[in-house]
Structure 1
Amino acid sequence: MDVQIWTYILVGISFSIYIGIAIWSKASSTKDFYVAGGGVSPLANGMATAADWMSAASFISMAGLISFMGYDGAVYLMGWTGGYVLLALLLAPYLRKFGKFTVPDFIGDRYYSRTARLVAVICALIVSFTYVAGQMRGVGVVFSRFLEVDVNTGVIIGMIIVLFYAVLGGMKGITYTQVAQYCVLIFAFTVPAIFISIQMTGNPIPQLGFGSTVNDGSGMYLLDKLDGLQSELGFDKYTDGSKSMIDVFAMTLALMVGTAGLPHVIVRFFTVKRVRDARKSAGLALLFIGILYTMAPAVSVFAKTNLIETVSNQPYEDMPQWFSNWEQTGLLKHEDKNGDGLIQYVANKEENELTIDNDIMVLANPEIAQLPNWVIALVAAGGLAAALSTAAGLLLVISSSVSHDLIKKMIKPDISDKGELWIARLSATVAVVVAGYFGINPPGFVAAVVALAFGLAAASFFPAIMLGIFYKKMNKEGAITGMIVGLLLMLFYMLKFKFGIFDGGKEAVAGLESKWWFGISPEGFGSVAMVVNFIVSLVVNKFTKEPPEDVQEIVEHIRIPSGAGEASGH
C-alpha cells in the first residue's frame, strides 16, 4: 500500500480512539470540565501532561531546529526539560494543595484582588492563543502533505476533531485522550528513530547510535562524519556552538521558568487526588518527556546527515519522490542558479540553491531514509497527535479563563453550575474558531510563537506564583505591578528586536543583534523580564500595606509538608 492509504488507516484509527474516549468520558459537572473531577491517577496524569507539553513544536519542529542549529540547539533540550524539575519541586504540590481550578484563580484568590485576576486572565489568553495558532497551523501542514488536502482544509479538519473532544469532555475527556495521544506520538517518534539508527550505525538504541561509529567500515563516528560534511559545504561544524555563554544561560533559564509558568501545564496538577500525586505526576511527566527529548538530538543528526548525502551536488532530475512531494508543499524549494542541473546546497547564500524549512526534517526523515510506507504514515499520525493534544489543553485554558475566572468570579458570581458549564463549552467553541482562523491566516509572529509564549509566561506568571507560595507577606500591589511591568518589558523587547517595530521593520532585525541588551537574544530575554518582575514586586511590596492575616494563614497552610492536608485530599 502507498503512503496515503497507510496514512488514512493510521490517522483514522487514532482519531476514532480519541473520539471514542471523548464520548466515554463526557464531563457532567464543572469540576469534570475544569480538572477531570480531581481523581486522575499520577501515571495517567504524567502521560497526559507529557502529551499536553509535547506539542507540534516538540514533535515536528524541535529536532528540525537542532538539525540546523547543531550544538546551540541544546538550550531547548535543557530549558524545556529543566522546567519540569522546577514544577515538581517548587510549584506543583503547593498549587494542588491550594486547590483552585486555574492559574488566574490562584492569583486572584492569593492576591485578594479582581485586578490581579484580570491581569492573569489577560496573560493566560495571550499565551494560549499565541501557542494554539501554531498548533493548528502544524495540523494543516501535516494534512496537506500526507492526506494531500489543502492546508486550510487540514486546519478545519483539526478544528472539528479538537472541538468534539475538548467541548464534550472538557479536562476529563482531554486527559484520557492525551494518554492515548502520548502513546501514539512516542511510538511514532521512536520507531523511525530505531530503524534509522540501525541503518546508519547498527545500534538499535538511537540515544547510543547518536555517539556510535557509522557502519560503512570506516570506523568514523557519526558526529565526526556530519562535522566533515558540514565543513565541506561551508557551514559551521555541527558540534561547535556560536552563542555566547550569557545568551545560552538566559535562554535556558527563560525556557525553564516559562515552562513552569505555562497555564496549560500547571492546570494539569489540579486534576490529581492528593498533593503527593502532583509531585509524582511531575516526575513521571519528566520521564515520559525525556524519552523523546533524549532521542531528538539523534534524530536531528540522522536527518541532517541523510539529507546532505541525498541532495548535495546531486542531479535535480534524479531526486527521489519525497523531494517533489515536499516541493509541492512549498516547504522545500530548489532554484538552479548556475544552470548546471545539480543541487548546490552550501552556506554561501549567493550560491545556495536549496531552501529547507526546519519543520520538514522529522516528517521527511523516514522518506529520506527510504523506510517502509507504514512508518512514514505513522510519523504523520504522531505529528497530528502532538499538535492536537496541546491544542486541546490550550483551548481548555482559554475556556476556563473566560467561564470560570471572568464570568463566575467577576461578572456573575451567582451563575449555576449548569450555566457555567454551558458558558465553558460555548467559550471553547469560540476559541476553536478563533484558533482555526489564525491557523488559516497566520499572523506575522507565528514564527516566533514559542519564544513569545515562553517569554510572556516567564515574565508574568512565574514570579507571581513563586512569591505567592513562598512569601506570605507578598501583597496585591506588588504582584500586580510586577506582572504588568514584566509583561510590558517582554513585549517591548520582542517587538523591538524580534520584529523591528521601532527600528525599520522585519528587514532590519538581522542588523539589531549587536544592540541586544546585555548580549541576550529575544528568546532569552524572558529571564531578564522575570528578574525585573521580582525586583519591582518586592520594592512595591515594601512600601505598601501587608496582605490580610487570613491570606497569610492560607500561604502558611499550603507550605505545610505532607501530613495535615493529605488525609482530606487537599
Structure 2
Amino acid sequence: MSTQTLIYLFVGASFALYIGIAIWTRAGSTKEFYVAGGGVNPVVNGMATAADWMSAASFLSMAGLIAFSGYDGSVYLMGWTGGFVMLALLLAPYLRKFGQFTVPDFIGTRYYSSVARTVAVVCLIFISFTYIAGQMRGVGIVFSRFLDVPINTGVIIGMGIVFIYSVLGGMKGITYTQVAQFCVLIFAYMVPAFFISALVTGNPIPQLGLGSTVNDGSGTFVLQRLDESLQMMGFPAYTDGAKSRIDVFCITAALMVGTAGLPHVIVRFFTVPKASDARKSAGWALLFIALLYTTAPAVAAFARLNFNGSVAGTPYAEAPGWFTNWERNGLIAFTDRNGDGVMNVANGDPFTGTPAFAPGVGPSGERLVSNPPLPGNANEVYVDKDIMVLANPEIAGLPGWVIALVAAGGLAAALSTAAGLLLVISTAVSHDLLKSTFRPNISEKNELRAARIAATCAILVAGVLGIYPPGWVAQVVAFAFGLAASSLFPVIFMGIFSKRMNKEGAIAGMVAGLSVTFLYIGWFKLWNPDASTADDWFLGISPEGFGFVGMLVNFAVALLVSRFTPPPPPEIGRLVESIRVPRGAGEAHAH
C-alpha cells in the first residue's frame, strides 16, 4: 500500500472517529454545550485538557522552533509547562469552586459589573482569535503536504471538520473528541521519536537518546555533532543562546502567566463535578503533557541533525524525495545563487525569513526564492520551521504508515485546540453577552441556537486568520499568551486573592494591559516589522515576551485605581472568602 493511500486511510479514519463521537455525544442543553454537563471524570478531563492544550504549536511548531533556535527555544518548554503548574495550583480549583460556565462569568460576578464582564469578553475574543490563527495555519500546512492541496484549501477543509463536531457537540462532544485526539496525537508524536532515536543513537528512548552518542562508532555525542555541523555552516552552536537574559526571562514569564490566563484551558476545569476533581484533572493533564514536552527537545535535535545531513552540500539533481515533496507546497525552497547546482545551507536570510517565490524555476529546476540575499550571504535554502515534525519521518526514511500517523496526529493537535477556542468564543457571545448582559430573558433553546450561530461565525473568521496569519504557528501562539498574561490573568488572580480589588480597578487594569501589549506586538509585527530588532525593543524585550510587561502594567493600574475608588460591597468579600476557604474550615476554626 502506498504512503499516500495510508495517509488518506489514517486521516479519514480519524475524522470519521471524531465526527462519530460528536454525533454520539450531541449537546442537548446549554450546560452540556458549555461545560459538558459538569460531570466529566478527572482522568478523562485530564486527557481532554492535554489535547486542548497541546495545539499545533506544541505538535508542529515547537520542535521546529527549537531545531532552528537551539538553546533559545527552551523558553517555550519552560514557559508552557511551568504555566500549567501555576494554573493547576493557583486558579483551577478556585474557579471550579466558583461554579459558573466561563471566565467572563467569574469576572462579571466577582467585580459586580456587566462592564467588567463585557471587557473580559473583548479580551477573551482577542486572545482566542490570535491563538486560533496559529491552529488553522497548522491545519493548512498538514493538508497542503499530505493531501496535496494548497494551504488555503487545507484551511477551508479544516474549518469544515471543526464546524461539524464543535457546533454539533458543544463542550460535551469536544471533550470526548479531544480524548480520542489526545490518543492519536501522542501516539503520532512518540512513535517516530522512538524510531529516529534508535536510528541515530541506538537508544529507542528519545529523552535518553538526546544525551547519547551518535550511532556511528565515533563516540561523538548528539549535541556535540550538532554543534560541529552548524558551526561548519556558519551558524552559532546549537547549545549557545543568543537571546538576552531579560528577554529569556520575560518570554518565559509571559508564557507561564499567559497559560494561567487562557480561557479555553480554564473552562475545562468547569467540566468536572467538584473543586478537588479540578486539581486532580490538572495533575493528570500535566502528566499527559509531559510525555510530549520531554520528547520535543530530542525530536528537534534529531530533526536538525538529519536535515543538515540530508540537504547541506547535496546536488539539487540528487535532492531527496521529501525535499521535492515539500517544495511543491512552497514550504521549502532552493535558489542556486552561485550556479554550482549544490544546495548550500549557511547562516542568513532566507533560511529563517519569509519565502517570496519568483515565477518559474531556476537552471537546476529549483523553485526560486526572490528574497534579495544579505551582503556576503551564501545561503541557498529556505525552510519553513513548521514542517520539521511532519517532515522528520520522511527525512529519516521511516515506513509510510509512520508518515501517515504523523499526518493524523498533526491534524488532531490543531483541530482539538481550534475546537476548544471556537467554543470559548461562541460561549462568550451567547452566554456572557447575550444571556448575561443584553437579553437575560432569552430561552435556553434560543441561547443554544445563538451559541451555534456564534461558533459558525467564529469559524469563518478563524479561517481568514489561518489563510493570512501574522507569523509562524508558535510565534502567533506566543502572542496569544502575551495577550492573556496582560489582560485576564491579573484580574482572575486578584479576584481570588484580594478582597479589596474593585470593579473600577479590574476594568482599568484589563484595558491598560491589553492595550499596551497589543499595540507593542502590533507595532513590531504588523505595522513596522522592519524595526523588530533587539535595538528597537523596549529594554531589549521582544514582542513574544512583552506580555509580562503588560501584566505588570495591568497590576499597577488596577491597584492604583482601586485605591482611589470605593471598595467592593460586603457580599463580594463573602464571595471571595467562600471561593478561597475550604468548606467546613470556618466551623472547625470556631471550635
Note the C-alpha offset of 1:321.
1.0
Structure 2 residue aligned with 1:494: 521
Note the 1:269-418 alignment, pairs <5 A.
269-349=269-349, 350-418=377-445
Distance in 2 between the 1:445 and 1:290 partners?
24
Matched residue SS, 1:207: helix
Q: 1:428 aligns with which of 455, 468, 473?
A: 455
Distance in 2 between the 1:450 and 1:391 partners?
12
C-alpha contact 1:132 1:435 (8 A) present in aligned 2: yes
Identity of aligned residues (%): 67
Instruction: State the one-letter code of the partner of 2:582.
Output: P
**For 1:99-143, what per-residue CA distance to the aligned partner results, in whole angstroms no more than 9, with x for missing partners?**
111111110110001110110000111111111122112111111
Structure 1 residue aligned with 2:568: 547
Structure 2 residue aligned with 1:261: 261
Matched, 1:225 2:225: yes
Residues 392 and 509 of structure 1, relative CA distance in 2, 3 Å threshold: same
Distance in 2 between the 1:444 and 1:211 partners?
32
Note the 1:127-276 alignment, pairs <5 A.
127-276=127-276
Distance in 2 between the 1:115 and 1:253 partners?
29
C-alpha contact 1:84 1:283 (8 A) present in aligned 2: no
Note the C-alpha offset of 1:236.
0.3
**For 1:247-294, what per-residue CA distance to the aligned partner results, in whole angstroms no more than 9, with x for missing partners?**
111111100000100110100000000101101111111111111011
Distance in 2 between the 1:314 and 1:29 partners?
60
Matched residue SS, 2:333: strand
* Number of equivalent positions: 559
Matched residue SS, 1:355: strand
Structure 2 residue aligned with 1:568: none
Note the C-alpha offset of 1:564.
6.9
C-alpha contact 2:247 2:540 (8 A) present in aligned 1: yes
**For 1:46-96, what per-residue CA distance to the aligned partner results, in whole angstroms no more than 9, with x for missing partners?**
110110011111100000000000001000000000111111110000000
When structure 1 is superposed on structure 2, of 127-136 and 320-329 the one drifting more is 127-136
Distance in 2 between the 1:87 and 1:348 partners?
39
Q: 1:557 aligns with which of 578, 581, 586?
A: 578
TM-score (norm 2): 0.93
Note the C-alpha offset of 1:498.
3.1
C-alpha contact 2:251 2:544 (8 A) present in aligned 1: yes
Distance in 1 between the 2:103 and 2:8 partners?
39
When structure 1 is superposed on structure 2, of 150-159 and 444-453 the one drifting more is 444-453
Matched residue SS, 2:521: helix
Distance in 1 between the 2:326 and 2:149 partners?
13
Note the C-alpha offset of 1:451.
2.6
Instruction: State the one-letter code of the partner of 2:21.
Output: I
**For 1:471-508, what per-residue CA distance to the aligned partner results, in whole angstroms no more than 9, with x for missing partners?**
01210011111111111111122123334x3xxx3233
Instruction: State the one-letter code of the partner of 1:346.
Output: A
Residues 33 and 514 of structure 1, relative CA distance in 2, 3 Å threshold: same
Matched, 1:530 2:551: yes
Instruction: State the one-letter code of the partner of 2:509.
Output: G
Structure 1 residue aligned with 2:104: 104
Distance in 1 between the 2:257 and 2:277 partners?
22
Instruction: State the one-letter code of the partner of 2:35.
Output: V
TM-score (norm 1): 0.96
Note the C-alpha offset of 1:242.
1.3
Q: 1:483 aligns with which of 503, 507, 510?
A: 510
Note the C-alpha offset of 1:444.
6.8
Distance in 1 between the 2:580 and 2:543 partners?
35
Note the C-alpha offset of 1:532.
1.5
Structure 2 residue aligned with 1:93: 93
Structure 2 residue aligned with 1:509: 532
Cα RMSD after superposing both structures: 1.4
Structure 2: stretches of 5+ with no match in the other structure: 350-376, 587-591
Note the C-alpha offset of 1:443.
5.3
**For 1:370-418, what per-residue CA distance to the aligned partner results, in whole angstroms no more than 9, with x for missing partners?**
0000101110000000000000000001100000000001110011111
Note the C-alpha offset of 1:448.
4.2
Note the C-alpha offset of 1:562.
5.5
Structure 1: stretches of 5+ with no match in the other structure: 566-570
Residues 447 and 213 of structure 1, relative CA distance in 2, 3 Å threshold: closer
Distance in 2 between the 1:444 and 1:368 partners?
25
C-alpha contact 1:40 1:272 (8 A) present in aligned 2: yes
Matched residue SS, 2:567: coil
C-alpha contact 1:3 1:146 (8 A) present in aligned 2: no
Note the C-alpha offset of 1:518.
2.1
